[in-house]
Each structure stands twice: as C-alpha cells, then as structure tokens.
C-alpha cells in the first residue's frame, strides 16, 4: 500500500510539472512586445463590446515600505494598435496630463508623449516594470515629460489628470468608478481597454482588430460629466422683461431628465445632452395654438448655470435670450 501511495504522489507531481511548463511557455509567447511603436489599427465598428480576460498568472510586487503582496491585476500587454486607437479616441494633445493606471511597460504614456507631446504619469506596482518604463523613457529622450510611480492606483491623486487610461479587470474598474467621478474634473476623458465601468455607460465603444493575432479588442470611452442634478432657479431676459425660470434636473451619470417651469407652465425637457460641463436640452409648448420650442445650450460652473435659450414659434417672444440660474 505504501508503494502504491508513493507512485500515485509521483504521478501527480509529473502531471503538475507538465501543466506548469505548458503555462509558462504560452505566457512567455503572449507577453513578448516592443514598448513604444504604434501601428495603425483597424477599427471595425462603434457599438460591439468585446470582453477579454487576461490569461496570465498574477505576479507579486512590492510597494515602497510594504511587504510583498499579490497584484490585483495581472500584467497583460495592450497591443500597439489598441494603444493608438485609445489615444486617438481621447484626442490627446500636448496640453493634456495623462495618467495610465496599471501602466505595465509604460507604452501608453510613452506613445502619447512621443506622438502628441502629452505629459504622462504611469502608475504600476511591479518594480521591474517601473524600471523598464523609466529606461524606455530615458532612451527615447522623454524623461522631462513622463514619470512612473510605483504605488497603488487607488492611492493615486487624479485631480490634475485630463485623460485616464485603463486596462484592468471588471471588478477593479467597478471599484475605481467612484474615484474617477469624484476626482476628475468635468470634461476629463477616460479610456478603457477591454472592460467597461459597469452602469456608467460609455459615450463611445470601438472595436479594433489586431492583424498579427486576428483578435478583436474593445475600447470604451467616457467624458466625465459635471454634477447637474438639483433645483435651479434663475431668470430669462425677454422683451417682456425678466421671466422667472425653474429647472428641476435629475441625473444618472451623463443622462439627464427633468422639467422646466416658467410662469404657470411646467414642461418636460427632452433631448438632453451632457458632455463634461456642457449641457443642452429642449422643451416644447403650444403658444396661441402654435408649437413653440425652446432650445437651451449652456454650461455648468459649480452651482451656476449659464447659457442661451433659443425660442422659436412663440410670436413676440421668438429670439435668443440669456439664462442664468443658481442651484438651490
């Protein structure tokens, strides 16, 4: 019986050793890459989400002054074609400050700096990847435009970021969502490779085919919305004098609904659009039997809403008028 038991244990060890060797071989072939070049991607569509789960065993890393911990996200390379499309959809320029959370070998930050002159910060736990990223930056002459920080992305202050890029996991994205909404300024852009941000629906979804592998990758894009929900009270300057206006707005991320009250009329708003701090909507009302339309376009600055109301089909009131409102 003892001999049979030892033979069974030895057989299990052989099988486990073969499995580990196969996994190591496939992982090495999948992760090999060159850091900074970006070729032209093939963009297939604008509405097909594709989720792809990283297939690499998580690596352990060390935060400064902390014991060794396992990374929350495994390191999987973003193909250069996907990098190019992420930066393109975000419309990065030399005026942007880009943060790449989970920056890996630094290719997104380095490509943005090299191609667009963008200042960038890469945040990564793995000290070897930080060392590799810094070496690539120095070699490319980008040391004055980029930096790489070995730290927890959840402890990273994002308040000066105008663009944030991600290639994380769904659960990490969900955990990160409130931080992005609370810390980023309205109008900041967020781009994620492969995974979305849960109930915060993307403003755009793209798919990119990588010719070398034939795989299709999803790219999700958001513009951080201003906080517009609340009761706004203001006045509309018209030929008949200043008219009191009340707006009651409800909000779920960039989706806005509500009602507008002017005089004794309460009208539902429609076609509302919120992009950063830019807001527009329409209301309709019958005036002397004719359909009158009010189109508002303006911006939110803290608790102040300013813009132009364009009135059409309202007789003497037809025209463009300034609207200023305060949130109460």
**Taking all residues of the chain, what is their mean pLDDT, rounded to a whole number?**
82
Please, what CATH class does the domain formed by 32-223 belong to?
Answer: alpha beta
Q: What is the CATH number of domain 230-327?
A: 2.40.128.20
Same fold, 32-223 and 230-327: no
What is the rounded distance in angstroms from the CA atom of residue 143 to the CA atom of residue 136? 9
Residue 129 has pLDDT above 60, yes or no: yes
Strands 68-70 and 230-238: unpaired
Q: Domain ranges in the chain?
A: 32-223, 230-327
Query: What confidence tens digit (pLDDT) does each residue in 47-85 have?
Result: 333 444 443 323 323 333 333 334 568 899 999 999 999
**Whole-model pTM over 0.85:** no
Find the distance separating the first CA and the last CA of the chain, reported in whole Å.
82
115 φψ region: left (φ > 0), alpha (ψ -120 to 50), beta (else): alpha
Residue 172 has pLDDT above 80, yes or no: yes
Q: For position 103, what pLDDT does the model report?
A: 98
């Amino acid at each position: 019986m003892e001999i049979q038991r030892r033979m069974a244990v030895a057989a299990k060890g052989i099988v486990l050793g073969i499995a580990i060797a196969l996994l190591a071989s496939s992982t090495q072939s999948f992760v090999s890459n060159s850091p900074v070049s970006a070729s032209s991607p093939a963009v297939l569509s604008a509405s097909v989400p594709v989720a792809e789960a990283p297939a690499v065993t998580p690596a352990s890393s060390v935060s400064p002054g902390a014991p060794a911990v396992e990374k929350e996200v495994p390191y999987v390379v973003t193909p250069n074609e996907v990098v190019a499309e992420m930066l393109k959809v975000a419309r990065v320029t030399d005026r942007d400050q880009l943060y790449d959370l989970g920056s890996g070998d630094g290719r997104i930050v380095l490509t943005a700096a090299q191609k667009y002159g963008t200042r960038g910060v890469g945040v990564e736990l793995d000290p070897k990847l930080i060392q590799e990223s810094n070496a690539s930056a120095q070699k490319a002459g980008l040391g004055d435009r980029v930096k790489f920080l070995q730290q927890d992305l959840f402890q990273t202050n994002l308040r000066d970021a105008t663009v944030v890029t991600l290639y994380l996991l769904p659960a990490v994205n969900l955990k990160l969502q409130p931080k992005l909404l609370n810390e980023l300024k309205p109008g900041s852009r967020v781009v994620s490779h492969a995974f979305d941000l849960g109930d915060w629906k993307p403003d755009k979804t793209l798919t990119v085919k990588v010719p070398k592998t034939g795989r299709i990758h999803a790219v999700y894009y958001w513009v951080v919305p201003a906080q517009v929900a609340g009761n706004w009270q203001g006045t509309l300057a018209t030929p008949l004098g200043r008219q009191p206006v009340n707006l009651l707005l409800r909000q779920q991320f960039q989706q806005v609904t509500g009602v507008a009250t002017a005089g004794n009329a309460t009208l539902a708003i429609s076609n509302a659009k919120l992009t950063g701090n830019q807001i527009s909507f329409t209301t309709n009302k019958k005036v002397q039997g004719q359909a009158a339309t009010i189109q508002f376009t303006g911006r939110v600055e803290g608790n102040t809403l300013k813009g132009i109301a364009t009135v059409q089909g309202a007789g003497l009131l037809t025209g463009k008028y300034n609207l200023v409102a305060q949130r109460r």
